[in-house]
Structure 1
Amino acid sequence: MSILHGPTIPFPADSTIPQLFAEQVRERPDAVAVVDGAHQVTYAELDERSNRLARLLCARGVRPEARVGVLLDRGHELVTAVLAVLKAGGAYVPVGPGHPPERRREMLADAEATVRVTREDLRLAAAWPSTPLPLPADSRTQAYVLFTSGSTGRPKGVMVEHRSVLRLVCGTDYVAFGPDERMAQVADPSFDAFTFEIWGALLHGGTLCVIPTETLLTPGALGPALAERRITTMFLTSALFNEVMADRPDSFAALRNLLVGGDVVDVSRARTLVDSPRDARPARLVNGYGPTEATTFAVCGPIESVPADAMSVPIGRPIANTSCYLLDAGLRPVADGATGELFIGGPGVARGYAGLPEETQERFLPDPFATEPGARMYRTGDLVRCRPDGMLEFVGRVDDQVKIRGHRVEPGEVEAALGRHPDLRQLAVVVDGAAGERRLVAHVVPATPGTRPAGLREFLAARLPEWMIPSAFVVHPALPLTATGKIDRAALPTAPADGSDADAVSPRTDLERELAELTAELLGLASVGVTDDFFALGGHSLLAMRLVSRVNDRFATEVALGEFLHDPTVVRLAAEVSRDR
C-alpha cells in the first residue's frame, strides 16, 4: 500500500475558530476555559477579554490576512491574545521568549507583522467595549504563521488556515475531544503542538490547563501536577517523554490520552509504559506524527504493545480527512512494502511559506490523487514504508534536516548564522548521536588566533534559540576537503570528549568532586570545572533535568531544577545539595 486515506468524517470545513468558540460561549458561559496557576478564566470571561483586545487590534488596522506578532509567555494572557487576533480577522504569529531578540525581529519582519501584542496591550484593551465583533466567516483565511528552520539560513513561516485547524480538532478519530477534557498546555506557542492543545480544548468546551515550565522539567513534579489538575489529555515531545520515563515512569498514570511525537519514539521507553500495570499508565498511548506544514498531526497510531524484538515504533495511519502517499523520485507510488518519500494531502495541508513563493512551489505540489479541484500535497522529505498491517514506519530523511529535542533544525541555518561571525574562515555544522540523543557539532577554522568556543556559543545565543546552538565547538587549523574542493563532512573527526577549559577550577571538596564527575559523565566529557557553565559545555534543558534527577537520587535531596538553571555550575549545585541536606 503506497496510497493511504484516513476515514472521511464530516467536520466544519466552512467555519472558523471564532465561530466555533462562540458556540461554546453560548452553551457553557460559566465553564472554566483556562486554568493558569491561581487564574481561572471562564468561557464568558475569555470571550469578553478577547473582544476588548480584538477591538483595539481592529482600531490599529488589523484586517483579514493581516499578521499580528504575539510576544507573550505561555499563560491565560497568551490565550486571550491569540483568540483576539482571530476575532479581529488576523493571523497570529507567536514569537516566544525562547528566541533571541535578533531572531524575533527577523521572524516578525519576514511575516510582515506590523502590529504586535504585548502585555501592555492587554492592559490598554481593558478600556475597550467587550461587545462582540462581527465574526470572520472565511475558513480559508490564515489563522496563524509558525516558523520552522530553513535550509537557506532563515526560518520559514508556515501559513495555516482556519479550515486546516478545524480538520485537526473536529471530526477526529485519533482522540475524542469534549467538555470533560482537561488538556495540558505545555508546548511553546511557536511549536505546532500548541494548536492541538488550545483549540482541542476551547472548541469543545474543555479546560486548558497551563503547566509551568519548571514543573514540566523538574524530576518528580510532573506526575503530581497532572493528578492535581485532573489532566485527561497531554502531548509531549519524544525527548521529554524519554526523560520523564527514565525518572518517574508512573507520572502519566492519571491520563486518559498521552500523545508522544516530534521525533522517533524510544522503543524501550514505550515498551516500559505499555507493559506497566494498568493503574500506573495512561489509558491510551498514541504516537503522533506530522510536520507543521500539515497542521500538527497527519498520522497517528495507538501504541498498545511493543514486541521484544521491535527496532522501532510505527508512526501509525493517516488520521481522518488526511491522505498519505509514498512516492518515488518521479512522484510515482512505490511498490507495496517499499520505502518512499511521504507526501501528505487533504485539508490539513498549509497554504505555504510566507513571502517564499519558490520554496512554496517546491514543497507544496498539485495533488494528482485527490478529487478536489486545486488540491495540493506537501512533500515532507521523510522516508517511510508501509508495513503489512497498514502501519507506516519512519525510515529516515532525504536531506540533512534533523530533530533536536522535538524541534526541526536545518544545519544549514545554523551554519548561516555562525557564518556571520567575523573571525571564522571555514566552518561546518554536522549532526552526531542516535535518534533521541542527537546533537549539533560545529567545526570551525578561525581567521585570527584566540577565537574560543565560549565566544562562538555566546555569538549564536544572541541569534538562535537554545535548541539550535551546537553542543560542541571544535577548532581546527583547516577542515578536510573533497577532491572538488568542498568540505568533506564525512572526514570530520568526532568531537573530543573534553570540553573543560584549561583555566577550569578543580573541585575543592568531596561533594564538588562527586558532582563534577556526575556532570562530566552526563555530558560525555573527561572532566568539568566547578565554575564551568553547564550549557557552554554542551548541556541543554533536558540534560539539566536528568542531572538534577540523578543528584537528588544520589543524595536523597529535592534540589529544584530552577535553582540550577539560574546558575548552572557545580558550585551552585553543591550549595543547593548542602542546603537541602
Structure 2
Amino acid sequence: MGLLRGAATPYPADSTIPERFAEQTRARPGEAAVVDGAHSLTYAELDRRSDQLAHLLRERGVGDETRVGVLLDSGHEMITALLAVLKAGGAYVPVNPGYPRRRQDDMLADAGASVVVRAQDVRAAGARDTDGGVEPVAGPRSLAYVLFTSGSTGRPKGVMIEHRSVLRLVCGGDVVPLGPDERIAQVADPSFDAFTYEVWGALLNGATLVVVPREVVLAPGELKRTLDTHRITTLILTSALFTEVMADRPDSFGGLRNLVVGGDVLNVARARLLTSGAPADRPDRFVNGYGPTETTVFAVRAQVDTVPADATAVPIGGPVANTSCYVLDQDLKPVPDGTTGELFIGGPGVGRGYVGRPDETRERFLPDPFADEDRAVMYRTGDLVTARADGTLDFAGRADHQVKIRGYRVEPGEVEAVLTTHPGIRQAAVTVDESTGDRRLVAHVVPAATDGAPDGLREFLAGTLPEWMIPAAFLAMPQLPLTVAGKVDRLALQALPVAAPDAGAEAPRTDLERRLAATTADILGLASVGLTDDFFALGGHSLLAMRLVSRVNDTFDADVDLGEFLYDPTVLRLAAEVSRER
C-alpha cells in the first residue's frame, strides 16, 4: 500500500567519514587510493597530505561545521582538499572553477563559506612539516558537505548532507557491492552528487579511485580504452552519457563489474541494446539508479538484466538499504498498489535541508509519520511514481516543472529569473523541446522594446549560468500565451516551432564542407547550418558534439579530435580537421 522499505543492513552510523578513512589507511597504507594520470597516492600518502592541509585550515579558523568552498578541478588535489576539510571538522562546498564568477560568488555566499581552498593552498600545505592529524571535532550528525541544485528563485539551492548519510550509502548500501578490490572511475563533476558515491565509495572501502578526465568520457573510443587500461571495475554515468556511449561504442562496458546509470530517465532502446548484447560486451551488473541530491545520491535502484521487447520504460526498482519510500496522495496518505502518487523518501540518507532557506526546507523536508525514529524526516521529491505489487517502482514524471538536462536538475524558473534581469527583456518563459530526439531548453522572451529581442542573450546568461542551463534557442514574442486561469500556457509554447539559423549565414563552398554541414544540421535537427555558425549557438552541447565528431570520423574514416572541435565549433574547423587527417 505505497509504503516500501529497503533492507535494514548494518552501517557505521556512529562514525564519520575521516574515521572510516582512517580505518582503511591502517589496513592498507601502501595500497593505491587515488590514481590521477601521472599522479598516484597511496592511502598513507593521501592521509598525510590531507593532514597537512587540515592543519592549515584549522589555522584559518575551520572548525565544527565551518563551510569551506573548494574551487578545484577534479583530481588528486580536489580529493585531498575534501578529506582535509572533513578532518578539520568543516563541511566542503564544491564549486566548479569553470562556472561564471557571479554564480561562484552566489554559491559561496549562500553556503556561508568563510574559507576557500584553491590549488595553491593544497600545494602550499604539502610543503609544511606537520606531525599527525588534527584533533577531530565532527560527529556522525555533523555537516559533511553542501551541494547546490537549481532553484526557481534564480539562485541555486544548497543541500546540506551529514556524515551518517554518506556512510549509510557507501558503507552499508546495496546499490552495488563495494570492496578493496574495486577500481572505481571518478567521472562526475564535483558539483554533481554522483561524485559523492564515486569518491567515498572508493576511499571508505579500501578501493582505488581512478580519475577519468571528462574529455575522455566524451571522446569516441577513448572511454573504452581508458576503462580497459586502468582496469576499471565500477563506473557511474548519467543517463545522457550512457545513451551517447551506447550510440557510438556499445562494447565500452564489457570489462566492468558494475555499471550504474542515473540522473534521468533511462533510454529503453539503449538499455535493451546493452542487455541483449554479447556477454563480452556487457558488465556483470547493470543498475538503474534514482535519487535526488536531498537524499544523498541513490535512494532507489533496479538491477537491469533484461529489457522486454515491448517495454516502454525501465523501472527504477525498490529502495536501497536503510531507506524508505512512500507513494502518497495529495493528503499524504499511501496509495494502493498500481496507483500513481508522489514519491517521498525517508531514512538516514535524507539531508538536513537547504542552507539559509527555512521556508523551502519546511516545504520539502516534512515530519515522517511512518518512521519509528523520533523526529525523523521525509523528503518530498516532486516525482510521480507507481508501485507494483512486488514493490517495484515505475517513474511516471514530475509533479512540477523541474526537468533534467543531460543529467543535471534544472528549474526553468531559475533560467527565467536570470533572463528577466536583462534590461532588454520584459518577460521570459523557458520550456523543453524534444523534437530533435534530444532534450534541450528553449527560451521564449518578450522584449522590452518593439524592435525585437536584444542580441547576446546567450552570452548574457553565460555570465551567470553553467553551459547546461543555457537555452538552445531564443524565440522573441510580442506576449506570452496565457491559460484561462491567467498562467503562462507552457503547452502552447512547446507547440511553437524552434527558430532556424540565420538565413544569411555563409554557405559551404566545397563538397566536403557541404557534406559536413548536412551532417551537423542532422545532428542539431536543423534544415541547414552555415560554414562558420557556432555549433553551440545553434543549440548544440557537449554530448551532441561527441555524437557529431563520432559520426564524422566514421563517415570520413578520419580521427578528428573532439577537443579541437570544442575549441572552434564550426563546420569550417571540421573540414580543416578532416582534410588534415586525409
**What TM-score results when the alignment is normalised by the length of structure 2?**
0.98
TM-fit CA distance, 1:136: 3.3
In the alignment, structure 1 residue 106 sits paired with structure 2 residue 102: no
Which one-letter code corresponds to 2:10 in the other structure? P
Q: Is the contact between residue 58 and residue 88 of structure 1 (CA under 8 Å) also seen in structure 2?
A: yes
Q: Is the contact between residue 532 and residue 570 of structure 1 (CA under 8 Å) also seen in structure 2?
A: yes
Q: CA RMSD in A?
A: 1.5
CA distances 1:467-516 after superposition (whole Å, capped 9, x unpaired): 11111111123332344554332322645455322441110111111111
In the alignment, structure 1 residue 401 sits paired with structure 2 residue 408: no
| Other structure's SS at 1:492 match | helix
Which one-letter code corresponds to 1:49 in the other structure? R
Q: Is the contact between residue 63 and residue 137 of structure 2 (CA under 8 Å) also seen in structure 1?
A: no
Matching residue of 2:50: 50
TM-fit CA distance, 1:432: 2.3
Q: Is the contact between residue 263 and residue 436 of structure 1 (CA under 8 Å) also seen in structure 2?
A: no
Matching residue of 1:363: 364
Matching residue of 2:469: 468
When structure 1 is superposed on structure 2, of 249-258 and 135-144 the one drifting more is: 135-144
Residues 173, 492 of structure 1: alpha-carbon distance in 2 compared, 3 angstrom cutoff: closer
TM-fit CA distance, 1:135: 2.5
Question: Identity of paired residues, percent?
Answer: 68
When structure 1 is superposed on structure 2, of 77-86 and 521-530 the one drifting more is: 521-530
Aligned equivalents of 2:566 and 2:71: distance in 1?
23
TM-fit CA distance, 1:70: 0.3
Matching residue of 1:195: 196
Aligned equivalents of 2:483 and 2:287: distance in 1?
44
Q: Is the contact between residue 178 and residue 206 of structure 1 (CA under 8 Å) also seen in structure 2?
A: yes
Residues 365, 468 of structure 1: alpha-carbon distance in 2 compared, 3 angstrom cutoff: same
Aligned equivalents of 2:290 and 2:95: distance in 1?
23
In the alignment, structure 1 residue 213 sits paired with structure 2 residue 214: yes
Matching residue of 2:336: 335
Q: Is the contact between residue 18 and residue 136 of structure 1 (CA under 8 Å) also seen in structure 2?
A: no
Matching residue of 1:521: 522
TM-fit CA distance, 1:436: 7.6
TM-fit CA distance, 1:130: 4.7
Residues 27, 274 of structure 1: alpha-carbon distance in 2 compared, 3 angstrom cutoff: same
Residues 344, 515 of structure 1: alpha-carbon distance in 2 compared, 3 angstrom cutoff: same
Matching residue of 2:38: 38
In the alignment, structure 1 residue 124 sits paired with structure 2 residue 161: no
Which one-letter code corresponds to 1:358 in the other structure? D
In the alignment, structure 1 residue 92 sits paired with structure 2 residue 81: no
TM-fit CA distance, 1:277: 1.4
Which one-letter code corresponds to 1:126 in the other structure? G
Matching residue of 1:11: 11
CA distances 1:242-289 after superposition (whole Å, capped 9, x unpaired): 000011000000100000010000111111101111111100100000
Matching residue of 1:320: 321
| Other structure's SS at 2:539 match | coil
Aligned equivalents of 1:235 and 1:450: distance in 2?
48
TM-fit CA distance, 1:448: 2.7
Residues 511, 130 of structure 1: alpha-carbon distance in 2 compared, 3 angstrom cutoff: farther
CA distances 1:418-468 after superposition (whole Å, capped 9, x unpaired): 111100122211122279832111011212356557511111011101111
Uncovered stretches (5+) of structure 2, i.e. residues with no partner: none
CA distances 1:183-234 after superposition (whole Å, capped 9, x unpaired): 0000000000000000000011100000111110001111111000000001
Spell out the pairing of 1:427-576 with structure 2 (5 A cutoff): 427-433=428-434, 437-448=438-449, 455-483=456-484, 485-492=486-493, 494=495, 496-576=497-577
Matching residue of 1:178: 179
Q: Is the contact between residue 471 and residue 537 of structure 1 (CA under 8 Å) also seen in structure 2?
A: yes
TM-fit CA distance, 1:388: 2.9
Aligned equivalents of 1:372 and 1:521: distance in 2?
55
Aligned equivalents of 2:320 and 2:196: distance in 1?
16
Q: Is the contact between residue 454 and residue 536 of structure 1 (CA under 8 Å) also seen in structure 2?
A: no
TM-fit CA distance, 1:390: 2.1
TM-fit CA distance, 1:137: 4.4
| Other structure's SS at 1:395 match | strand
**What TM-score results when the alignment is normalised by the length of structure 1?**
0.98
Matching residue of 1:81: 81
Runs of 4+ in 1 over 6 A off after TM superposition: none
When structure 1 is superposed on structure 2, of 61-70 and 474-483 the one drifting more is: 474-483
Matching residue of 1:29: 29
CA distances 1:163-192 after superposition (whole Å, capped 9, x unpaired): 000000011222111111000000000000
Aligned residue-pair number: 581
Aligned equivalents of 2:455 and 2:504: distance in 1?
13
| Other structure's SS at 1:365 match | strand
Q: Is the contact between residue 49 and residue 130 of structure 1 (CA under 8 Å) also seen in structure 2?
A: no
When structure 1 is superposed on structure 2, of 199-208 and 489-498 the one drifting more is: 489-498
Q: Is the contact between residue 432 and residue 494 of structure 2 (CA under 8 Å) also seen in structure 1?
A: no
Matching residue of 1:288: 289
